[in-house]
Amino acid sequence: MTESSNPSPEDLDAVATELNQTAEQSGLSADQYRRKMQRRQEVQQQRLAERHQEKGLIIVHTGNGKGKTTAALGMVMRSLGHGYRVAIMQFIKGAWEPAEKAVLERWADQITFQAMGEGFTWDTQDRERDTETAQQAWTVALQYLHNPDYRLVLLDEVNVALKHGFLTIDQVLAGLAEKPEMTHVILTGRGAPTDLIEAADLVTEMALVKHPFREQGVKAQPGIEF
């Protein structure tokens, strides 16, 4: 790429990645590192200048690793910090009384929190009841999804409800298609279906590398799991 060229966003992304990789190499002199970082700064400024669109995002957190809901709650905190209204619908873990709810209730004027699930599927052991509960939760969730007063809607563990067939992907995609333009929606839970991933704007897969429950027999602990 020449200095006089008009690079595409994809070209700039590739240059940024290459500069990051080369800057991490050992053996660079201080001057070489400084020049690479100067170029990296220039590329980043170009990347930011090219990207000025805003839209409500469909965000999926999936995978077998821990942290899907935790990461989503970080976005919830950011939204609250900006003064936005947030709605949280919990599809599966409703039998728990999470510490997060106790904290978030301090922003009661900005946040709506509803736990509709009756627990994990191996606790309820009743597919028909789980389906009915998930469908009721989805009916309520649609009210939040279609309300422009909510800037962020978190559908916690909805992917699990999809995986088990308690909800259909068609009804979820139809609901997402009708959300206000600037509303962000986060869908968490392992086993996100392919059609949902394709429809999403941002997808993160949490990979399980190690877990103390499996490797060490350590039980779920307050402040970490709940």
**Residues noted as catalytic:** 64, 66, 68-70, 78, 120, 122, 157
Q: Which residues contact 69 (CB under 8 A, 6 or more apart)?
A: 61, 156, 157, 188
At 209 the three-state DSSP class reads coil
Rounded to 5 degrees, what are φ and ψ at 182?
A: -100, 10
Task: Extract the runs of DSSP E, i.e. beta strands, from the chain.
Answer: 58-62, 85-90, 111-115, 150-156, 184-188, 202-205
Residue of 57, 53, 225 whose CA lies nearest to 154 = 57
80, 146 Cβ separation under 8 angstroms: no
Rounded to 10 degrees, the C-alpha dihedral 93/94/98/103 comes to 130
- Which one-letter DSSP state was computed for residue 62? E
CA atoms within 13 A on the CB side of 60: 23
Tokens of 103: 């904290």
